[in-house]
Amino acid sequence: QVQLVQSGAEVKKPGASVKVSCKASGYTFTSYGISWVRQAPGQGLEWMGWISAYNGNTNYAQKLQGRVTMTTDTSTSTAYMELRSLRSDDTAVYYCARDDRYTYEDWGQGTLVTVSS
């Protein structure tokens, strides 16, 4: 069965960076993209961007352009999302999801990133 296993919770200071990993199993990693979606406490879902696991092409949400980088390591079937210059409003649960033409059938368990001084 498909599994997406994310790295653990992080606490960061404002201005720092965070890198969240998402290890995939149970499917051919390079046949699908990975999207990242975040959810601030008590709020809705926000799409952050997408990466093709086939060729590394990316598409980021405009509001995060310049602060976010998504990468993949096909040798370990792992996707990464790095967010820089963290602010308090980046505090959220970050999810990776297997992206099948922008439909998310499988999700990671979520990674809580807390930004606090």
Partner 1 sequence: DIQMTQSPSSLSASVGDRVTITCRASQSISSYLNWYQQKPGKAPKLLIYAASSLQSGVPSRFSGSGSGTDFTLTISSLQPEDFATYYCQQSYSTPQSFGQGTKLEIK
**Judged by CB, which is closer to partner 1: 13, or 101?**
101
Residue 101 binding partner 1, by CB under 8 A: yes
Burial of 34 (0-12, 13-18, 19+ CB in 10 A): buried
Q: Out of 7, 12, 27, 46, point to the residue binding partner 1 (CB under 8 A).
A: 46
Give the per-residue contact string, 3-32, with partner 1 (x = CB under 8 A; - = no): ------------------------------
**Residues 25, 30, 31, 33, Cα dihedral to 10°:** 90
Stretch that binds partner 1, among 11-19, 24-32, 59-67, 71-79 (CB under 8 A): 59-67
Question: 64 in helix, strand or coil?
Answer: helix
Residue 54 binding partner 1, by CB under 8 A: no
Residue carrying structure tokens 């079937």: 77
